[in-house]
Structure 1
Amino acid sequence: MSLAGRRNATGAFQSIPIVPTSDEHLASALKRAGRIGPNTKLKNEAARARNKTARQMDELVKAISTPLGACVKGFPAAERLHPFERALLDLTIGLELYEKRLARLTSLRQSAVQVGKAYAARAGKAANKKEAEALGVEGFENVAAVYKKGATAVDGLKDMAKQLRRLPVVDLMLPTVALVGAPNVGKSSLVQILSSGQPEICDYPFTTRSIKMGHFYVDGRRHQVTDTPGLLNRAEEDRNAMERLTVSCMAFLPTSVLFVIDLTGQCGTSPATQWQIRADLRARFPNKPWLDVFTKQDLLQDVHAQAQGAAATEQPQTLGATGSAVDSDAGAGNELLEEGEGGSQVVADLESHERVRNADREASSLMEASETAAKFSWNDRGKQGLDAPTIAAALSQAIWVSSVTESGLDDLRSAVLRMLQEQNKQEPDYPEGV
């Protein structure tokens, strides 16, 4: 498959063939071979018996070999899968076990063919009718014995196919917003809020919870929004399958990230630990479109007000004691707009300058908070000062929302729209190796 093909090709598991049970397959093969009758054109009894037995063994080999071969070919090669589907395969089955089961089925097929062909050849050389018929009975029994000995390969493949076909299909052509964060911070509720309709429920075999996926439109273009399993503050090699699904979603899909933080700590993860999770992901995926969201604003009104006050105080200090520089730039822009000469360029320049200022402010705040966060481990539970107000001040551009009072939901929708409109102007940023 070409590079572009791998980028856009998903749903490979949905085309996996239906695998019969080993009992059904063997019974069907024996029945088909047993229907082969004698060739009436042959007048010699021994010749007719030799011919019949040889053709029965050939048919038995074909009835076993062809379906098994089709099954093996129907399973996609792991190295040709889209990286996200390859990650799902590893999480659901395991890459090593996947290859092992396919190899076992191929080995069973080859063994059955070898035994069947050997009996067909012996039957063709039988001295008389009795010997030919005896070889037929013996051949059927031995081929069946070989098959039954390796029947677990067939049944294992059937179970594997069933699991893989159940995996949800992700449309790579649709931009995706992934809600990421610690467990129980409110990601699922936000999916419901952002979706234009009822979100779909996506079940993954290796998770203990369902994943909600909704859709909405930006400038007439359809987008996906999905929650993800919660992340704990631990090393990548220690993550469970659910956490690895979240990381795979960020690594291999063209996602924008809404990082959801519960500063109350009622989710079971302290604000300091949530900060560490965020810092780790931000460092790992620095080029992802990113929006921070604080939930449960109704329980954090004092912290919210304090953060707003700090942001209001900080802005004039960054832009100037009175903000006159901005006022002057804006005035110049208005004058040019009135005159109709280059006003658009001035406004664009102003917007660009403001984005740079905002980025500088966030970078400065993040650096200060990161130095504090670096002192923490999973058991620190927000000691040494990295508390809710500190994090709120560091992420001054974050959106505050409450699903109870519905405060900030319109701001969240607007921020998501702006982020996606900007992203849609750019070419998809596919991960390396896709």
Structure 2
Amino acid sequence: MKRILTSLKLGCMFDYIPTVLRSQEIIDKSFHKASNIVEPYFPKKEMKIRKEVTDRISTIESISTGHLDKIIRKFPTIETLHPFYFDLIDLMFDVDKYKLSLGNVQWTTDKIKDFSTVYIKKLKGVKTINEMNNIMKQYYGRFSSLIKNINKDLLYLGECRNYLRRLPGIITDIPTFIIAGIPNSGKSSLIQKLTGTTPDIASYPFTTKEILIGYKNIGTRRVQFIDTPGILDRPMDDRNDIERRAIIALSKIEGTILFLFDYSGTSSYTEDQQNNLFNEISGSFPNKIIRIQTKIDISERKENICISSVTSPGLKELDDVVIAEVENFYAARNQETGY
């Protein structure tokens, strides 16, 4: 399935969404630009005023609809979003209201363009300066009224923009590995070992936690690793409903979960508690889950894949598993697309 609006680089998924001006800000900006228009000398004053009023109307139309058009173009179409982002957005704000607000902005943009053309045509049919000034005043009044009518829509879209720009920049169409497990099981160390770099930090909505995102290249293919400290490290019963739904949104990412087990006895979690968490995540996420034992340098081997952030054994074996999963990802993708 084709995924649209995929992030191409780490950072916020929706950095490109512009600031949404309030109605009065759009009016002031448009009028200020128009007020600076003064035509050069014309043989007749009527010709000069007609040209000034025409240019002012055109300028107001251009400034205002340019901003409104940018809002319409840059705000994402909800139906085209990846399910991961759709779920998070659906938790935050009223999607129907979002669509309605964008629709009202579009209608207003079209209306301004239409009646600007009408008023410019009116100018061609009048002869006196007084009539020209009256047309300009009528236009200014009608324009202001239209813009003020969408102030609530602009305020709402501004709130939506602020939320969208806080969403983590997870790339949804490349091989992804989500690292889970109890606190202090070595998740952060593992992502650094696998990528060879310090991961970037991104906030995760509806929680007080942050996720770590790192990348590495396997051949020409980019691979993404997501560390989930404080998120996939304790039972869902410890969360409220909003947090649970936000966490489950991670299951919409087509990735493999690397679940870390710590049998060293250095944590406060028993083996049964870790297995219970593993089973809960297995039941909540459709993703493939691979069991990995950490701290093998101070614990007995119990899993097929064992690693240590201190002595680095098992990392080559884990790398081979990662490479195999990446190959499986692209094989499945090619089968979907027919290539």
- Is TM more than 0.5 here? yes
When normalised by structure 1's length, the TM-score is: 0.58
**The structure with more radius of gyration:** 1
1:416 equivalent among 318, 321, 326: 318
* Greater relative contact order, per chain length (Cα 8 Å cut-off, separation 6+): 2
Counterpart of 2:223, as a letter, is: H
Provide the secondary structure at the position in 2 that maps to 1:426: helix
- Is the alpha carbon distance of 1:187 and 1:100 closer, same or farther for their aligned partners in structure 2, counting shifts above 3 Å? farther
Q: Is the 8 A contact 1:233 1:274 kept in 2?
A: no
- Is the alpha carbon distance of 1:216 and 1:32 closer, same or farther for their aligned partners in structure 2, counting shifts above 3 Å? closer
Q: Which runs of 5+ in 2 are unaligned?
A: none
**Percent identity of the aligned residues?**
21
Partner of 1:179: 179
Q: Is the 8 A contact 1:183 1:230 kept in 2?
A: no
Q: Is the 8 A contact 1:212 1:227 kept in 2?
A: yes
Q: Distance in 1 between matches of 2:98 and 2:277?
A: 32
Cα distance, 1:129 vs structure 2: 2.7
Q: Distance in 2 between matches of 1:17 and 1:222?
A: 26
Q: Distance in 2 between matches of 1:115 and 1:265?
A: 73
Q: Distance in 2 between matches of 1:101 and 1:184?
A: 45
Q: Which runs of 5+ in 1 are unaligned?
A: 309-395
Provide the secondary structure at the position in 2 that maps to 1:16: coil
Provide the secondary structure at the position in 2 that maps to 1:197: coil
Question: RMSD across aligned C-alpha pairs, in angstroms?
Answer: 4.4
Q: Where do 1:39-118 residues align within 5 Å?
A: 43=44, 45=46, 49=49, 52-90=52-90, 95-96=95-96, 98-110=98-110, 112-113=112-113, 116=116
Task: Figure out how many residues of one structure are paired with residues of the other and give that number.
Answer: 326
Partner of 2:253: 252
When normalised by structure 2's length, the TM-score is: 0.71
Residue 10 in structure 1 maps to residue 2 in structure 2: no
> Deviations for 1:29-67, whole angstroms, at most 9, x for unmatched residues?
21333344569768484x765665455334322321233
Cα distance, 1:188 vs structure 2: 2.8
Cα distance, 1:230 vs structure 2: 1.7
- Is the alpha carbon distance of 1:239 and 1:196 closer, same or farther for their aligned partners in structure 2, counting shifts above 3 Å? farther
Q: Where do 1:346-365 residues align within 5 Å?
A: none
Cα distance, 1:227 vs structure 2: 0.7
Q: Distance in 2 between matches of 1:166 and 1:11?
A: 16
Counterpart of 2:313, as a letter, is: D
Q: Distance in 1 between matches of 2:98 and 2:181?
A: 31
Q: Distance in 1 between matches of 2:250 and 2:142?
A: 49
More helix by share: 1
Q: Distance in 2 between matches of 1:8 and 1:118?
A: 38
Q: Distance in 1 between matches of 2:5 and 2:129?
A: 61
Partner of 1:21: 21
> Deviations for 1:267-316, whole angstroms, at most 9, x for unmatched residues?
6x776565344224324556625224366985xx6xx5xxx6xxxxxxxx
Q: Distance in 2 between matches of 1:217 and 1:99?
A: 38
- Is the alpha carbon distance of 1:213 and 1:15 closer, same or farther for their aligned partners in structure 2, counting shifts above 3 Å? closer
Counterpart of 1:397, as a letter, is: E
Q: Where do 1:105-144 residues align within 5 Å?
A: 105-110=105-110, 112-113=112-113, 116=116, 120=120, 128-144=128-144
Partner of 2:202: 202
Q: Distance in 1 between matches of 2:162 and 2:61?
A: 26
Counterpart of 1:70, as a letter, is: K
Q: Where do 1:397-416 residues align within 5 Å?
A: 397=303, 406=310, 409-411=312-314, 413-416=315-318
- Is the alpha carbon distance of 1:199 and 1:137 closer, same or farther for their aligned partners in structure 2, counting shifts above 3 Å? same
Q: Distance in 1 between matches of 2:92 and 2:193?
A: 30
Q: Distance in 2 between matches of 1:132 and 1:7?
A: 49
Q: Where do 1:137-176 residues align within 5 Å?
A: 137-158=137-158, 160-161=160-161, 163-165=163-165, 167-171=167-171, 174-176=174-176
Counterpart of 1:252, as a letter, is: I
Provide the secondary structure at the position in 2 that maps to 1:21: coil
Partner of 1:313: none
